[in-house]
Amino acid sequence: MSEAELVLRSTRVITPEGIRAASIAVTGETIAAVLPYDAPVPAGARLEDVGDHVVLPGLVDTHVHVNDPGRTEWEGFWTATRAAAAGGITTLVDMPLNSIPPTTTVENLRTKRAVAADKAHIDVGFWGGALPDNVKDLRPLHEAGVFGFKAFLSPSGVDEFPHLDQEQLARSLAEIAAFDGLLIVHAEDPHHLAAAPQQGGPKYSHFLASRPRDAEDTAIAALLAQAKRLNARVHVLHLSSGDALPLIAEARAEGVQVTVETCPHYLTLTAEEVPDGASEFKCCPPIREAANQDLLWQALADGTIDCVVTDHSPSTADLKTDDFATAWGGIAGLQLSLPAMWTKARERGHGLEDVVRWMSTHTARQVGLDGRKGAIAAGHDADFAVLAPDETFTVDPAALQHRNRVTAYAGKTLYGVVKFTWLRGQRVVADGAFTEPKGQLLTRS
């Protein structure tokens, strides 16, 4: 401990053993030790005492669309990572689509990394993409360090990232299983979507009917069957249908290697509250009814759903028209994900330890970063969010850091104000003020 350069002290630190008063000794970029609260400060170390604010491990968001390069008018690494840092997120993993080029070859990955290198305010990793014609590129991308591969089972919304049919899914999944990679899947069945009523217009009820739960349920069932047959690792993205939960639990009991995420908007917003024409609430799959939301919360509590991520997917404001059929489908949530989740979690009797498990510990584990991220423990990166959990604020879009300040949370009063964010031992956000970018580009171990 004599070499510690920083001691971060609080009466409430979330550790793997629970919340306790502690002093966190930091050497360089790494946590050296978690000490008793009143442990002597080593000579030469700087003490940062945050009083009763809660110190939690920096969040790890494994589902973010940065859109850079190619659609930088929608978002970019500079703005997305600032928004993340402001919300206590210290690591994100960028999705392979909505940027041009998509991250579907090693060359395209190099392009993405070159763009991100000097703009990242937090640590950034990358997913690869699985397309109908790029099976040959999957192993090279894996060897180049992507954390896994994303596929769509229905149209993605952008022409440069086509979806997989069941035969193409089987080919890609077999290749990925051969090197023990991970396939993460947008699971909606295109046939069920095509058969659903497509009325368009401003009524949210019409949009909800156009993306029925059985489209998710059918696609998830097919994915689980493929994963079982091929002994492959799969991850279900942005689960919104509570009806799929028994399928997932049964598959797990049979030994299928499947993990599941959901998103803050499915857990905090309901179909009943979406005004007609308010396409800032549009995402695919959609925000569903309150009774369905109850099932998602129950599945989080019992472990059927592993983690919570933002699926941050912004666009320019002009694409958020009042016609739900044609408006861009995506919710920008990086900066607000922690307070939104904490606000609803506390209402339902959950603690901050639960939120940390869903949004940091389990997400770090999903991408193999659990030896570095997701916990306040010796040997981990010194990534912290300092939260005032009982303070509230009202969401003002003008105060948000993502590029196009459209939000489904506008005007909502939320609990939990992020006071400081630390990245690998350096404070990168303090009361809304930012340092220059200090993020690193991460690769799969």
Residue whose pair of structure tokens reads 């350096």 in the numeric block = 426
Q: E strand or H helix at 110, and its extent?
A: helix 106-116
pLDDT confidence band for 224 (50 / 70 / 90): very high
User: How do residues 75-123 score in pLDDT, each as one tens digit?
Assistant: 999 999 999 999 999 999 999 999 999 999 999 999 999 999 999 999 9
pLDDT in tens, 304-361: 999 999 999 999 999 999 999 999 999 999 999 999 999 999 999 999 999 999 999 9
- How many Cα atoms within 13 Å fall on the side-chain side of residue 73? 4
Confidence of residue 2 (pLDDT cuts 50, 70, 90): low
CA quadruple 374, 379, 381, 382: dihedral sign: positive
Cα 333–chain centre separation: 9
In the three-class reduction of DSSP (H, G, I as helix; E, B as strand; rest coil), residue 296 is classed as helix
- Residues 336-347 as b or e (16 or more Cβ within 10 Å = b): bbbbbbbbbbbe
Q: Is 191 annotated as a binding residue?
A: no
- Residue 235 is given by DSSP the state E
Is 163 annotated in a binding site? The answer is no
Phi first, then psi, for residue 10 (nearest 5°) are -155, 155
- Reference 310, options 402, 384, 242; nearest CA is 402
pLDDT tens per residue, range 168-203: 999 999 999 999 999 999 999 999 999 999 999 999
Is 402 annotated in a binding site? The answer is: no
pLDDT of residue 431: 87
CATH code for the part of the protein at 6-55+380-434: 2.30.40.10
Beta strand 18-27 with 6-15 is antiparallel
- DSSP letter for 381, please: B
By DSSP bridging, strand 89-94 and strand 59-64 are: parallel
- Spans of all domains in the chain: 6-55+380-434, 59-367
Residue 390 neighbours by CB distance under 10 Å:
12
Q: Tell whether residue 238 is among the known ligand binding residues.
A: yes
63 labelled ligand-binding: yes
pLDDT of amino acid 235: 98
Same topology for domains 6-55+380-434 and 59-367, yes or no? no
Q: How does pLDDT run across 418-444, given as a tens digit for each residue?
A: 999 999 999 999 988 999 999 999 999
- CATH for the stretch 59-367: 3.20.20.140
Q: Given a cut of 80, is residue 137 above it in pLDDT?
A: yes
How many residues are recorded in the chain? 445
The answer, yes or no, to whether the previous bond of 57 is cis (omega within 30 of 0) is no
Q: Is 150 annotated as a binding residue?
A: yes
